[in-house]
Amino acid sequence: MSSEIPWHALEADESLKRTDSTEDGLAADQAGRRLEEQGPNTLEAEEGAGPLKLLVRQVHNPLIYLLVGAAVLSLAVGKYIDAGVIAGVIVLNSLLGFFQEWRAEGALAALRQMGALHARVLRGGEPTEIEAAQVVVGDVLLLETGDRVAADARLLSADELQVDESALTGESQPVGKQPPRVDEEIPVADRKNMVWMSTNVTGGRGQAVVVHVGMQTQMGQIAGEVRTTVREKTPLQKRMHKLGLVLGGAGIALAAVVLALELVRGYRVVEAVMFAVAIAVSAIPEGLPAVISVTLALGVRRMADRHAIIRHMPAVETLGSTTVICSDKTGTITRNQMTVCKLWADGKTFKLTGEGYRPEGALRTADGQPVEQLPETLETLLRIGVLNNNARLHQDGGQWRAEGNPSEAALLTAAHKTGLDRKTLQGESERLHEVPFSSDRKYMATLHPQKGGDGRVALVKGAPDRLLEFCSHVRIDGQVVELDAERKGAIESAIGDFATDALRVMAGAFREFSADKDRIAPEDVEEGLTLAGLWAMIDPPREESIQAVSDARDAGIHPVMITGDHAATALAIARKVGIAGDGEVLTGADIDAMDKPALAEAALRSGVFARVSPAHKLKIMESLREQGHVVAMTGDGVNDAPALKGADIGVAMGRAGTEVAKEAADMILTDDNFATIVHAIEEGRVIFSNLRRVVYFLVATNIGEILTMIAALLIGMDLPLTAVMILWVNLVTDGACTIPLGVEPKHWDVLKQPPRNPRESILNRVLIRRMALLTPLMAAGTLLMFWIAKPAADLAHARTVAFTTLVAFQWFQAFNARSHYQSVFSIGVAGNRWLLAGVGLAVLLQVLVVHTSLGQTLFGVTALSAMDWFWIVLTSSSIWVADELLKRLGVHGQVPQRKGSFSL
C-alpha cells in the first residue's frame, strides 16, 4: 500500500473506485462480507475476556498462591488428606470464581452492546444506522453535527463541515473540511479532505467514504485511546483487592509469629505447622473478588433493565453519592412532544386546536371564533416554519410520528393544519444555504429565492428574545412597519404571557436580499430582520418527573433544571414538577456575573437556570463540584461534551443525544427520562449497600476466625479448627450466603437516606463497630462449645462441635448482614428468598459433612448428637439475638421515619 498515492491526494471519485464502492455506499451483503474479512472497527485491545483468560485470572491470584503454600506445607508434614482437601478447595474456588465471572462477563458484554456508539452510513443508497464497530472500508458515512466520526474516511461532499480534531492533533479549534484533493506531502492535521476516527463533527454536514477501520486508522496507529469502558475496575474493587492482599500479608505474618511461639513452647512440629497454616488461611477472604464483580455486574444489569446503561464502571459507585442532579428540561423533564397551540401575528393571538403531530385541527381567534381566511402575516410565519425546517412527519400505523427536532416537527404540523403542505412549499422554494441551529446561537436561518420576485430571502426562526434583538421591523396586516418601543413592548408582553403559561415560544422573521446573494453568514441575519410572528407550543412535563423530583429531595439530592428556553417558561415548568426553589430563575447573564461560590449557592437555592449555553453548564457544574458536591449532569449536544466529561456522572440521552455526548458520558438513558436518573441513583445505592453487606459478612467471618484461633493459642488450648475446616467456612458456607446477600432487594428506605459521603470507606464506623461487638461473640461461642466438648477426651468430636458452631454463626450472621441498623423483621424475614435458599443449602451441606462417612474422612469430623445440634444452634443464634438487640437500641444508627408513620 505504501507505494500507492495516499487517499488525500486522490480525487473523491478515485477513492470510491479504490475502495470498490459507489456514491450509494455498499450493498448490505457486500458490507457483511467485508466485516467478516476485516474484523470489527474497534480500538479495543481485547474484545471480551475469553474463557481461558478468565480461568487464568482465577488462579493467578496471590491468595491462591497462599493456599497452594498451605497445601504444600500440609503435604510436607504428612497431612495428606488436608493437602488433598486444600487442593480440592483451590480447584473448586477457581471453578466457582470462573463461572461467576463468566456470568458477570456475559452481563457486561450485553451492556457493552447497548452502550455502543453508532454511525449512519449509506447501504444500497438508503441511510442506515449501524454500530460504529460494523463500519467497513467502502462504507459511505453520513456526517452531521454531533456525530463522532466512526473511521478514517475521504470526504465526498461537505456543507460547512467543521470537525474538532483535538483528540487526534491537540488542535482545540474546529477545522473546516472540504472535498478537493490536497498535496501528497501535507501533514495529517492539514488534510482537509479527510476525517479521522474518534473526532467530533461540530458543525455542518458531509459524506465520506471509509478508507481505514480499526487499528489501521490514525487513532489506531497511535493507539492512544484504547477504551476499557465497562470492564474498568471500580475504586472499590481496587481497594478490596488491596484489602485482600493486606489481610493475606497480615495472615502470613501472624502465622509466622504463631509458628515461632509454638515451637518455642514445645508443640510438635506437625501441630505447630497446621496451626500456623490454619491461621494464615483464616485471614484470607478468598471469595471476595469474585463476589464483588458478580454483585456489580448483576447490579448494572438491573440498571439497564430500568433504562440506564452504565458506560464506565466506577460510575456505579459514584451514583450512590450523587448530591445534585443538573438536568436539561426539554425531553428529560418534559416529554418533548411539542404541539403549537397558540400563534401571534398582526398584534393578535390565535389558537390552534388538535393534539400531537396529527395534522388535524382548526385555527381560531383568541375568543374561540373560527378563522375563515388565513391572514397574510400568519401565512408568512407558517411558511417560515415549514421552509426553515429539517424535521419530517410520517404516518406509522395510523400514528403520526416526528423525525428530527420535535419543535420543528410541531411547526410542520401547525402549518399543515392551516392547509400549508410541506412538500408543495418546499418544492416551490428550494433552500440555497443554511446557518444551522446551535444552542449557543439559539436560532436557525435559511436562504431561499424570493416568492414571486427575483431577489432572495433569509428566513429565520429561533428564541424570541434573541430574534427581537435582531429585528428592526415587524410585519403588521401585510405591511412592514418599524419596530418601535411600543410595538416591541406589546410583543414582549405576548411572549411573557405565553411563557408564564409554560409554553415554549419561538419567533419567525425574515430579511430580503438582492439576487446575487447565494450564501448567508450569521452577521447577515443578526440585524435588519422583520418579525413575522410567534409560535407558542405546549410541551407537558412527564408525569414521572414530579414523583422523581420529590424522591430526589427525600433522598437529600438537589434537582437543578438547566435549559436554553425562556426564563418564564422554565420557571412555569419547574413549578409544575416541583423543582423551583425560591421562585427565582437565573439566566446566562446572571451566571456570567457571578463568582463560583455564589453560583453554587444560587443553584441550590433556586434550582432553575434559563437561557443558558453549554459553557454555562460547565461553570455551574464546576462551581458545585468545588463546593464538594457530587454532580450528575445531563447533556445531548456536541457542546455538552466538556460538561459531561467533567461531571461526576455524565448522563447522555440515548434517543435525542448525539454520539459525541454519548461517548463523553458515564451513563446513557435509553428513555431520555429524568426519572431514570433518580432510579439509577437508587440502584447505585442498592448496589453499594449490597457490596457493603457482602464485604461486612465476609470480613466478619475472617475476624471471627482469627480471634478464635488467637484466643485458643493464648489460653493454651488445642487447635480448635483445622485449616480445611476454616476453608470450608470461608468458601462453602460463606459462598452460599454472599451471592444472595449481593442481590438483596432494595429496602423501602433507600431513597430516605442522605447521599453517601464519597470519601467514606466501605467499612465505615457502623460496620467496624458491629464487627467489634459481634465477632468476639463468634469466637467466644465457638471456643466455649469447644471447651465444653472436652477436647482432651475426644479432640475430633470437640473440633466437630467447634467447627459446626462457627458455621452456624454464619447462618445467623447472614441474616444480620441484610441490614446494618434495621431489624430483620422490619425488612421482612423472607424478603430475600435467595438468602433463604443459600442458608438452607449451607445447612444441608454441613449436615452432609458431619453425618456422611466421606465428609467425616475428609474433614476429620465425627457425627453429632441431637443434643449437640441443639446447643450449637442455641449458642450460635446468640449473634442474631445480640444484633437485633443492638439494632433495637439504635446502637448502629436510627431508622428513618416511614411515610405515614408517626412518632410521639
Q: Does 887 bind ligand ATP (CB under 6 A)?
A: no
Q: Which of residues 495-534 bind ligand ATP (CB under 6 A)?
A: 506
Each residue 201-240 as x (binds ligand ATP by CB under 6 A) or -, in order, gives: ----------------------------------------
Whether the Cβ atoms of residue 508 and residue 535 lie closer than 8 Å to each other:
yes
Question: Rounded distance, CA 384 to CA 529, Å?
Answer: 13
Contact region with ligand ATP (CB under 6 A), list: 186-194, 217-225, 401-409, 813-821: 401-409
Of 214, 244, 564, 735, the residue at the interface with ligand ATP (CB under 6 A) is: 564
What residue type is 904 in one-letter code?
Answer: L
Q: Establish if 402 lies at the interface with ligand ATP (CB under 6 A).
A: no
Q: Is 463 in the site for ligand ATP (CB under 6 A)?
A: yes
**Nearest-approach distance from CB 388 to ligand ATP, in angstroms:** 7
**Short-list 200, 196, 201, CA closest to 217:** 196
Helix or strand run (H / E) with residue 616? helix 614-626
Of residues 14 and 501, the one with the C-beta less far from ligand ATP: 501
Residue 145 binds ligand ATP, judged by CB under 6 A: no
By beta-carbon proximity to ligand ATP, the closer residue of 26 and 333 is: 333
Applying CB under 6 A, which of residues 462, 740, 791, 860 lies at the interface with ligand ATP?
462
* Binding segment (CB under 6 A) for ligand ATP, from list 83-91, 145-153, 560-568, 785-793: 560-568
Helices (H), 115-176: 166-169
328 forms part of the interface with ligand ATP (CB under 6 A): yes
In angstroms, the CA 272 to CA 263 distance is 7
- The answer to the question of residue 696 lying near ligand ATP (CB under 6 A) is no
- Contact between 565 and ligand ATP by CB under 6 A: the answer reads yes
> Toward ligand ATP, which CB reaches closer, 573 or 743?
573
Indicate the residue among 177 and 566 with the shorter CB distance to ligand ATP: 566
| Part in contact with ligand ATP (CB under 6 A); list of ranges 2-10, 301-309, 403-411, 831-839 | 403-411
| Rounded Cα–Cα distance for residues 97 and 57 (Å) | 9
Question: Interacting stretch for ligand ATP, rule CB under 6 A, among 24-32, 404-412, 670-678, 890-898?
Answer: 404-412
Short-list 220, 194, 219, 190, CA closest to 206: 194
Residue closer to ligand ATP (CB basis): 359 or 541: 541
What number of other Cβ atoms are within 10 A of residue 445's Cβ? 27
Burial of 478 per CB tally in 10 Å (0-12, 13-18, 19+): exposed
Which residue of 79, 192, 311, 442 would you call a contact of ligand ATP, by CB under 6 A? Answer: 442
What cell does 104 get? Answer: 458477570
* Residues sharing a CB contact under 8 Å with residue 2, sequence separation 6 or more, in sequence order: none
Position among 357, 437, 498, 809 found at the interface with ligand ATP (CB under 6 A): 437
Task: Report the C-alpha dihedral over residues 21, 25, 26, 32, rounded to 10 degrees.
Answer: 120
Contact between 811 and ligand ATP by CB under 6 A: the answer reads no
Q: In whole angstroms, how close is the CB of 332 to ligand ATP at the nearest point? A: 7
Binding-residue total with ligand ATP (CB under 6 A): 18
Among 443, 728, 803, 811, binds ligand ATP (CB under 6 A): 443
DSSP symbols for 660-684: HHHHH-SEEETT--HHHHHHHHHHH
CB of 7 to ligand ATP, least distance (A): 35
Query: Which grid coordinates are listed for 806?
Result: 462457627
| 25 Ramachandran zone, left/alpha/beta (phi>0; psi -120 to 50) | left
Residue 407 in the binding site for ligand ATP (CB under 6 A): yes
Q: Does 617 contact ligand ATP by CB under 6 A?
A: no
- Residue 329 sits in the site that holds ligand ATP (CB under 6 A): yes
Residues 408-427 vs ligand ATP: string with x where CB under 6 A?
x-------------------
| Parallel/antiparallel/unpaired status of strands 529-538 and 503-513 | antiparallel
Residue number of the CB closest to ligand ATP reads 564
* Minimum CB distance to ligand ATP, residue 563 (Å): 3
Least separation in angstroms between CB 463 and ligand ATP: 4
Would you state the cell numbers that stand for residue 126, as one nine-digit string?
438508503
- How many residues does the structure list for the chain? 904
Smallest separation (angstroms) from ligand ATP to the CB of 457: 17
Closer residue to ligand ATP in complex, CB, 352/707: 352
Nearer to ligand ATP by Cβ, of 437 and 697: the residue is: 437
Rg of the chain (C-alpha set)? 34
Residue number with CB closer to ligand ATP (437 or 728): 437
Would you report the helix, strand and coil content of the chain in percent, each value rounded to 5?
50, 15, 30
Q: Is 328 a catalytic residue?
A: yes
Query: Shortest distance, CB of residue 436 to ligand ATP, whole angstroms?
Result: 9
What is the distance between the terminal CA atoms of the chain, rounded to a whole angstrom? 84
Q: Please list, in sequence order, all residues whose beta carbon lies within 8 angstroms of the beta carbon of residue 307, skipping any fewer than 6 positions away.
A: 654, 669, 670, 671, 673, 676, 679
Residue 209 vs 412, nearer CB to ligand ATP: 412
Q: Name which of residues 65 to 124 contact ligand ATP (CB under 6 A).
A: none
Q: Considering the complex, what minimum distance in angstroms separates the CB of residue 760 from ligand ATP?
A: 34
| The binder of ligand ATP chosen from 162, 323, 563, 690 (CB under 6 A) | 563
Query: Taking the mean position of all CA atoms in its chain, how far away is CA 141?
Result: 27
Catalytic residue among 82, 152, 328, 565: 328
For ligand ATP, give the closer residue by CB, 22 or 500.
500
Stretch that binds ligand ATP, among 364-372, 439-447, 794-802, 844-852 (CB under 6 A): 439-447
The whole-angstrom separation of Cα 363 and Cα 353 is: 7
Q: Spell out the residues 6+ positions from residue 458 whose beta carbon is closer than 8 angstroms to its own.
A: 445, 446, 447, 448, 510, 511, 512, 513, 520, 524, 525
From the CB of 610, what's the least distance to ligand ATP, in Å?
9
SS3 578: coil
Joined grid coordinates for residue 463? 428564541
Candidate list 94, 198, 322, 330; residue touching ligand ATP; CB under 6 A = 330
Cα 100 from chain centroid (whole Å): 23
Is residue 444 involved in binding ligand ATP (CB under 6 A)? yes
**Shortest approach of ligand ATP to residue 64 CB, angstroms?**
52
| Cross-sheet strand order for the sheet of 608-610 | 308-310, 667-669, 649-653, 631-635, 324-328, 558-562, 608-610, 586-587
DSSP string, 58-121: HHS-HHHHHHHHHHHHHHHTT-HHHHHHHHHHHHHHHHHHHHHHHHHHHHHHHHHHHT--EEEE
Which chain residues interact with ligand ATP by CB under 6 A? 328-330, 405, 407-408, 437, 439, 442-444, 461-463, 506, 563-565
Catalytic center residues: 328
